[in-house]
Structure 1
Amino acid sequence: MDIVNSELYDIKSIIQKDFRYNIPRYQRLYVWKEEQVNTLFHDILIACKANKDIYYIGGIITVKYQKIENCFDLVDGQQRFTTLWLLANELGESIKDFTRTVNGLRLNFSIRKNVEMYFNQLLSGSESIENDTEFDDLVRLSKARKIIGALITENLQSKELKNKYIYFLLQKVKMVITEVPPSTDLNKLFETLNNRGIQLAQHEILKTHFLSKIGNSKKRYRYGILWNACSDMNNYIERSLTYETGYARGVANTYDQWVHDWKQIENILIDEKAKAEKLTLQDIIGKRKNWDEAVYGDEEPDFEEMHPNATDDELEPVRSILTFPQLLLHTLRVYLHRNQRIDIQRINEKELLHIYSEYFFLKNQNDYESRREEDETESIAFMDLLFKMREAFDKYIIKWVEVNDMTEIHLIKKVYKQNQKKKGWFYYLRRQKTQELDGFAMLQSILYHSQQNTTQYWLTPFLNWLLEFPSFDDAFAWLKVLDNILFSSMQEGRELIDRTKECMDGYPDIEPTTKVLTEALGTSFPHYWFYKLEFVLWHERVKFNKSEEWKEYRITAKNSVEHISPQSPRNSKDKLCDTQLHNFGNLALVTRSINSEYSDFPYGVKKAKFEDKKSKGTFDSLKSDIIYQYPIWNDKLALNHQSEMINLLQEYFEKTKRKY
């Protein structure tokens, strides 16, 4: 009888057993993108710093590979396994043993010999394979390797932390490896894997826990609707409420003075006429009418996009910068702060249930009735706060907005309550672009791109403050203050989560400083300062006579520090900077592709490349635009540029200082 065997493994045990793994011919190429690689690296780093006993990265399914002893086909899990291989290769040292066995590569590829050759080249320290005509197969692998290299450089600078990370990766990162028998029908197994239901998410389990505390079934139903609307992060809250209630006008009528009246929404849900009917896809398609049909027919339209003045930009797809579990953790921090309780230690959505059980739910109470009553009160209070947090998030915080098939940008769209007369007045809520919020959105973009995308700790104190629903001008002014306190000041040795907690207590009187910009850090410069300067340059663009030229500039993800005067030029005479080579004045933050394009070319060639892109409306960076205005480049100009940028930042700090 064939047996399915599952065991818990770590990388060290795989090395000790000398297991080898094969990517079979039916597997797709490596497809992980920067976000997924970033998430895996940082999740492991967070668990490592927290000294967790175990970090579980999921299950791997294998089947014995008959041609090679001690070798297994990877049926499921090859993306994670390949990323772990690349991570081990970049880290080197003792973890390097994971990349190879006594008989060759730890990871083999049945039909992709160019990939196997690439891996061997990596082990030997060469990458000449990247110039091969089959490089298309290797694009994502090469990008992932470079991303991992940059993550290690940026986050594991001390030898002590790097060794700790390697030890944690070797012995604490666990995976359940399930070996299925060779006789398994792999076609059926793949069909099962591809069609399996999505595992119940932690936030859905949490929802059940909260709702179970509410005794009244009608109230429980209404808060279930509220939770569902809040959890739909890739839509605006008013649309989510419309889809949940089936009553667009009723939702619009609850909106006044920037916020929805939850009590009125509860009344909508009580109204039997307002309950959403269950429709098939064909029903929905059949019910869609254009506005003329609705106006002149008997039916009234129920969706805001059908308003006669609706514009195309209202229908652009949007994507949240946070997941719903992340929003739940930010909400928990605000709830704990407002109830004078101890703050959580970290934001990690994979530990959502564990964190809530540790910090929120009441424990060690003997009186069941008292506990039940308190749990219900607390659960309702929390969900009321969650709704307000979600409203503030949608009102003030950037979203990814898809402006065309190839481009997403950060935008804040204002909500408008617009009326229309037909059988009496009724209202629709609409989201529209407005240039008046471009600066507010850009400041948030630099924080988003310069901070870990799985935490975004700055949002907790900012959202806590936004719950009073201030004007956009006041919100923008406060974000400038918060940014200066958290990221432009010298607070070494203090965890960011602790500093954000302090800001919720009352915004400490901490002065920003540009001291770090006088150091010769080269590629080790914190990326934050380049992003910050981009915002300040845009904010003060009138000073540089760039009011119109820079007006449409947007902050995008950049991850590579480039030397304007190259470190190792092709010709020694092209090395224009010596004393300022690694100083802030000779550096710019660009994308890896642009850094690779500029490579070790001399200043004149880089300037020509920059100006060619600029003529087409594209900027590497605004800092680069300031630099490439000079016909030549040298130590003196680099030092002058650095001084000018530092003075600009100091003037900005003075201008944005708290006035009270």
Structure 2
Amino acid sequence: MQENLMSDAVHAISVGRLFSSSDRYSIPLYQRNYTWGEEQIHRLVHDVIDEAKRGQTKDYFLGNLVVAPPEHKDDPFDVIDGQQRLTTLYVLLTKLRKYPEAQGRVSRLQPLIYEAREKATRALRGVAVSTHEDDESEQSAEDSGILQAANIIDQLLDDPETMRSFGAYNVIDYLLNRVKIIRMPIDRGTDLNKYFEIMNTRGVQLSAIDIVKARLMRHLSDPHDRSLLGQVWSACSDMDHYVSMSLVSGDTVKRRAVFGSDWEQLPPNDFGELRRRLLGTDSDVSNPSVDSQPLSMTLDDAIAAYSRVNEVVDTDEAEGDNRFTSQITFPTLLLHALAIRRPESVANREDRQLDDKLLVSRFTERLAKLPRSQKASWVQDFTTDLLRIRCLFDRFILKRDATLGAGNESTTDEEPGNWSLYRLSRGESVSRGSRRDSPRYLPSFSSEENGSDAADVQRKVILLQSALRITYTSPRTMHWITEALSFVVRHADLNQEVTAQGFLNVLENFALDRLEAAMAPDPEKVDVDPNGHPLGFGIPRIMFTYLDYLLVEEMNEPSFTFSYRTSIEHFSPSKEDVEHASTATHVQDRDLLNWFGNLALVTVSTNSKFSNNSPREKANNRPARRQSLKLELMARRAETSSWNDDDIKAHHEKMVGVLQNALAQRP
């Protein structure tokens, strides 16, 4: 029997007992709805798996859960802070209770309640009993996020690789007993507006990028050098604006000095030259607080100095504000930069891990291997490398552009617009009769520079990058960005032009390497069909996305765009509606249901809408069909003919053939 914990004291509570004691939790009405998506959910689960793999017996803390204790004995705790993580854990534990590997290990859960939001509470109840009580057309922001989370976790737990990790490293036991949350009570009389203001502005906790910057800065004895590092770091960290705008905000003279008269040139790779162009040979240090620091700083000194650096916000050139959205964060960019400039002696796979939890240790290890006399020059080189890599990132890695119309459900609420690939160039604007420099966004590959077919290749580059973006949704798996940046960095180092076709070849080769491995898995680890291809939820996402990339040309669908699709859909459902079944859409050999020929990759909401509908009912959903060209082919066949055993086999053979032909003809 578990002991009761005092409700007004701070406790480290294991995930296994978070909902299984007498404690209950309620999400107050003033809290926002559940909003976590695949990236956050995957990160939570994979962080736990990573910690379990270490085989250590120490506890792993997920964070804080701030609550208002119950006023009466049977009342729930009101969740003040931490509700996204709490809701995710509730859905995860609910799903785990149904898996054979967790039978009898996850206790009965006390219900989680969303105050005055019946749809959200009902959705959580539906997750527990595997039913969705609302019609899809009636879903709202209250419950759609919860239902999507349930679908995402289902996909995770159906993934053979994830479940192998769960079994091999006792992940379930580790999650239940060693993963903990700090429950912190606050008085119900607390002014919550003041509380959140203090929590959001106190600036006490330093992030990993703060620590890395401070550790780099302490190796630079010259205050001008530290100022240059600070400016480059600040500009590069602004991931949603082009760095050539952020670095010299409002100063077109300096922008020309650093990036050329057309604003399109790479900054110099020599630290001293960059300092001369940006700061001026005899200029004062841009930040007096840094200038006043001694020439030799301890780490504590560096952190203290860094904490006093004022961030520069661009107010003079508003064009482009809130227009672009980067697909990675600054910590991930730093890891890509480290991977690109890795020493030859470092193991490729190890050094290219893109887990931002390892950010501090990655930099610490890299610097520790250098003699003391080389550390300052390494930091200087990394400063110029970072700026140049960020410039190349802006030009050659896709973003979301809010000014472009979305297509084929290719957007999310967080990222409006559509995919874009632009280089920033100097233009002119006229205001009150006078001309002034202003940014222009031009296609990264123009026909004048790269040949008459460059516009078509540019479209393919955007298409394939967006396919890879939705295939590898976690930042830690986005190695295609490292490959692409490594290619353009090598060309930049040699002062060579990057052609559209050459760049596309790099992306295609990366995708084809992954596709080849995906189509021939180890049969001892993954269920396979008679020809050795993976089945069901064991099919890697790259098979679906690269197939759609190829079908764009084969079906002549140049306007197709990729959506954020994460759910594997059985076109002929695994649970057939026998009462309304048609012979034209009945599948006798039930093993065929898990063949690639019967599956499509769709959005989470579409997967939920399709439910156990028949193939012909699914074919009537025209908007859903537009998200996948493979699904479109399946729908056409079902609505005009049939969808039975022979249809699945025929479609399977044709689609696998398209992929095999691509492998045989790879560039």
State the Cα distance separating 1:318 from its structure 2 match: 0.9
Q: Which amino acid aligns with 1:123?
A: A
Question: What secondary structure sits across from 2:486 in the alignment?
Answer: helix
The two structures have a TM-score, normalised by structure 1, of 0.77
Question: What secondary structure sits across from 1:382 in the alignment?
Answer: helix
Cα distance in 2 for residues equivalent to 1:151 and 1:108? 25
Cα distance in 2 for residues equivalent to 1:316 and 1:120? 38
Matched, 1:585 2:597: yes
State the Cα distance separating 1:561 from its structure 2 match: 2.5
| Residue pair 1:39, 1:454 contacting (<8 A) in 2 also | no
* Equivalences for residues 140-289 of structure 1 within 5 A: 140-154=145-159, 158=163, 161=166, 164-181=170-187, 184-186=190-192, 188-193=194-199, 196-197=202-203, 199-243=205-249, 247-253=254-260, 259-263=266-270, 264-271=273-280
Cα distance in 1 for residues equivalent to 2:389 and 2:530? 35
| Residue pair 2:248, 2:255 contacting (<8 A) in 1 also | yes
Question: What secondary structure sits across from 1:537 in the alignment?
Answer: helix
Q: What is the match of residue 504 of structure 1?
A: none
Q: What is the match of residue 51 of structure 2?
A: 47
Matched, 1:465 2:465: no
Q: Which amino acid aligns with 2:562?
A: I
* Equivalences for residues 194-593 of structure 1 within 5 A: 196-197=202-203, 199-243=205-249, 247-253=254-260, 259-263=266-270, 264-271=273-280, 317-338=323-344, 340=346, 343-344=350-351, 346-357=353-364, 359-362=365-368, 371=372, 373-404=373-404, 407-416=416-425, 430-433=440-443, 435-436=455-456, 437-455=458-476, 456-469=478-491, 470-489=498-517, 519=533, 521-538=535-552, 540-541=553-554, 544=555, 546=556, 550-567=557-574, 568-569=576-577, 570-579=580-589, 580-593=592-605
State the Cα distance separating 1:474 from its structure 2 match: 0.8
Q: Which amino acid aligns with 1:440?
A: V
Cα distance in 2 for residues equivalent to 1:186 and 1:462? 47
Q: What is the match of residue 62 of structure 1?
A: 67
Please provide the CA RMSD for this pair. Answer: 4.1
Deviations, residues 228-262 of structure 1 (Å, cap 9, x unaligned)? 22211111121122328663333442778852225
State the Cα distance separating 1:63 from its structure 2 match: 3.1
Aligned length: 586
- 1:624–1:23 distance in 2 versus 1, CA, 3 Å: closer
| Residue pair 1:420, 1:426 contacting (<8 A) in 2 also | yes
State the Cα distance separating 1:83 from its structure 2 match: 1.2
Cα distance in 1 for residues equivalent to 2:610 and 2:484? 39
| Residue pair 1:410, 1:441 contacting (<8 A) in 2 also | yes
Question: What secondary structure sits across from 1:578 in the alignment?
Answer: coil
Task: After superposing the two structures, state which structure 1 stretch, 80-89 or 585-594, moved more.
Answer: 585-594
Deviations, residues 519-553 of structure 1 (Å, cap 9, x unaligned)? 47234422220101001112x33xx4x2xxx1111
Q: Which amino acid aligns with 2:327?
A: I
Cα distance in 2 for residues equivalent to 1:607 and 1:477? 35
State the Cα distance separating 1:124 from its structure 2 match: 4.1
Question: What secondary structure sits across from 2:517 in the alignment?
Answer: coil
| Residue pair 1:211, 1:220 contacting (<8 A) in 2 also | yes
Deviations, residues 51-107 of structure 1 (Å, cap 9, x unaligned)? 464433221222321212695332221221111111110111659876746xxx253
Q: Percent identity?
A: 23
- 1:480–1:632 distance in 2 versus 1, CA, 3 Å: same
| Residue pair 1:304, 1:430 contacting (<8 A) in 2 also | no
| Residue pair 2:573, 2:614 contacting (<8 A) in 1 also | yes
- 1:89–1:620 distance in 2 versus 1, CA, 3 Å: same
| Residue pair 2:394, 2:423 contacting (<8 A) in 1 also | no
Cα distance in 2 for residues equivalent to 1:109 and 1:600? 29
- 1:87–1:420 distance in 2 versus 1, CA, 3 Å: closer
Q: Which amino acid aligns with 1:442?
A: L
Question: What secondary structure sits across from 2:402 in the alignment?
Answer: strand
Q: Which amino acid aligns with 2:64?
A: G
| Residue pair 1:588, 1:621 contacting (<8 A) in 2 also | yes
| Residue pair 2:26, 2:113 contacting (<8 A) in 1 also | yes
Question: What secondary structure sits across from 1:243 in the alignment?
Answer: coil
State the Cα distance separating 1:139 from its structure 2 match: 2.5
Q: What is the match of residue 305 of structure 2?
A: none
Deviations, residues 559-581 of structure 1 (Å, cap 9, x unaligned)? 22233334414315253433443
Question: What secondary structure sits across from 1:467 in the alignment?
Answer: helix
State the Cα distance separating 1:393 from its structure 2 match: 1.6
Match of 1:9 among 6, 13, 19: 13
Gaps of 5+ in 2: 1-5, 289-309, 407-415, 447-454, 492-497, 523-527
| Residue pair 1:619, 1:625 contacting (<8 A) in 2 also | yes
State the Cα distance separating 1:638 from its structure 2 match: 3.1
State the Cα distance separating 1:184 from its structure 2 match: 4.6
Question: What secondary structure sits across from 1:30 in the alignment?
Answer: coil
Deviations, residues 311-336 of structure 1 (Å, cap 9, x unaligned)? xxx77711111111011112222233
- 1:144–1:96 distance in 2 versus 1, CA, 3 Å: farther
Question: What secondary structure sits across from 1:128 in the alignment?
Answer: coil
- 1:17–1:211 distance in 2 versus 1, CA, 3 Å: same
Q: Which amino acid aligns with 2:460?
A: G
Matched, 1:623 2:637: no
Deviations, residues 113-163 of structure 1 (Å, cap 9, x unaligned)? 554454444434444366897966322222222222222223655366258
Task: After superposing the two structures, state which structure 1 stretch, 347-356 or 83-92, moved more.
Answer: 347-356
Match of 1:643 among 635, 648, 653: 653
- 1:555–1:640 distance in 2 versus 1, CA, 3 Å: same
Cα distance in 1 for residues equivalent to 2:11 and 2:468? 42
Task: After superposing the two structures, state which structure 1 stretch, 43-52 or 200-209, moved more.
Answer: 43-52
* Equivalences for residues 129-148 of structure 1 within 5 A: 137-148=142-153
Question: What secondary structure sits across from 1:214 in the alignment?
Answer: coil
State the Cα distance separating 1:304 from its structure 2 match: 10
Cα distance in 1 for residues equivalent to 2:531 and 2:393? 33
| Residue pair 1:234, 1:320 contacting (<8 A) in 2 also | yes
